[in-house]
Amino acid sequence: MISSTELYLIIGFSVIGWVSYRRRKVDISGYVCILIFSAALILSSSYSVLTAISVTFVCSAIITTLKKRLIPRFKNDGAEDTPRNWKQATANMGLPVILVLSARINDEQSMTFTAFAALACATADTWSSEIGILSRSRPVLMLSRKNVPAGVSGGVTSLGLFCSMLGSLTIACVYYCYYLRRDETICILILGIIGSVIDSIIGELFQAKYLSQEKELTDTDSAGELVKGYRMITNNSVNLLAVSLTALIAFLVKNTLLNQ
């Protein structure tokens, strides 16, 4: 039986999702993902992860809105204000939801820690991308240190790195508010930042990049000739790989270092 509290929460998140859809923050597939993820977390009483995802979603929506107003002040921003779809939602939030549901089914508390670390990675990367594009400095690739246009996967700026720290810190703070475990909170903060760096490295090495008519690298597959990476590796693929690797590292850290 669904309790009245759970029912009210599901209705509340349905309304939030619908408002986000009407304001073009998500498309219809993204809205469906919000319903599925939120309902699953509510019915499993996974309120800590639900809170973390909600904070991420709200803050990211605010950042996108502010960015849309600030972008005209900058040149060559390359930003696109497009609604989030189910692929983006699943790549960033799907694994944390699965992990925390697994924690409920198997009674393995390490899964909750792992879910938060994965979510910290996703949030750190999202904030790095969303705000880093506002940097006045030209992004550089993490390994080769070559300059690339803003928005190209793998490119980082000082502002973007700083924002990835803030994103990871936000999720770590939510974890601390629920569990009051300082060592684990610090680990989540660090793992989120590491995950964001992993995302940039994977994006640089493997994500498909094309040569535009202006002879600049871009991630847009309709721009021109594939010159680097693999066509099947998209930004969503990179995000999923980075989140998965971060989750694996977090699971090992929790079960080898923090359980001693």
Tens digit of each residue's pLDDT (9 = 90 or more) over 231-252: 888 888 999 999 999 999 999 9
pLDDT above 90: percentage of residues in the chain: 40
Q: Residue count of the chain, please give it.
A: 260
Spatial CB neighbours of 86, under 8 Å, sequence gap ≥ 6: 29, 30, 32, 33
Please give the backbone phi and psi of residue 154, each rounded to the nearest 5 degrees, phi first.
100, -20
Question: Tens of pLDDT along 166-195?
Answer: 999 999 999 999 999 999 999 999 999 999
Rounded-to-5 percentages of helix, strand, coil across the chain? 70, 5, 25
Tokens describing residue 160:
């973007």
- Would you state the structure tokens that stand for residue 187, as one six-digit string? 């680990």
Determine the pLDDT at residue 260: 59
Q: CA-to-CA distance for 11 and 4, rounded, in angstroms?
A: 10
Write down the pLDDT at residue 71. 62
**Chain segment 89-139, per-residue pLDDT in tens:** 888 889 999 988 887 666 577 899 999 999 999 999 989 888 887 888 888
